[in-house]
């Protein structure tokens, strides 16, 4: 158990360090870039930190949509289990009342 908690702290520390490095990288590179892909060119020069944010958000959108079915299934399962817990608690209360009387 202690090992798992230690690994969670190490993982969070690594994430924080990576985020700090990305922020410093984006802030340090303030010169403007022109994007080009095949024959398409984005003529509006953009700074690196804007590009980092745009590509980060563009990468998070598919991840969000891929995770939606799993989250929905988890929500449905949790809701049904909470309902079962409520019915079992009511049954226990009725049994306690019948035993006391």
* Cβ atoms of residues 30 and 47 within 8 Å: yes
Q: What are the mean pLDDT values of the chain's consecutive 10-residue runs (101 residues total)?
A: 75 91 76 75 73 86 92 94 94 83 65
Identify the pLDDT of residue 35: 72
Identify the pLDDT of residue 31: 72
Identify the pLDDT of residue 9: 86
Identify the pLDDT of residue 81: 96
Instruction: Give the Cα separation of 27 and 19 in Å (integer).
Output: 12
Instruction: Give the Cα separation of 15 and 21 in Å (integer).
Output: 10
Identify the pLDDT of residue 73: 94
């Amino acid at each position: 158990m202690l090992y798992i908690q230690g690994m969670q702290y190490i993982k969070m520390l690594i994430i924080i360090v990576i985020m700090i490095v990305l922020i410093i990288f984006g802030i340090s590179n303030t010169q403007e870039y022109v994007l080009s892909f095949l024959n398409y060119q984005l003529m509006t020069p953009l700074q690196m930190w804007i590009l980092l944010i745009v590509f980060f958000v563009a990468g998070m959108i598919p991840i969000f949509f891929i995770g939606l079915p799993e989250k929905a299934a988890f929500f449905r399962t949790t809701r049904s289990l909470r309902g079962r817990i409520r019915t079992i608690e009511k049954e226990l209360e009725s049994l306690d009342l019948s035993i006391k009387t």
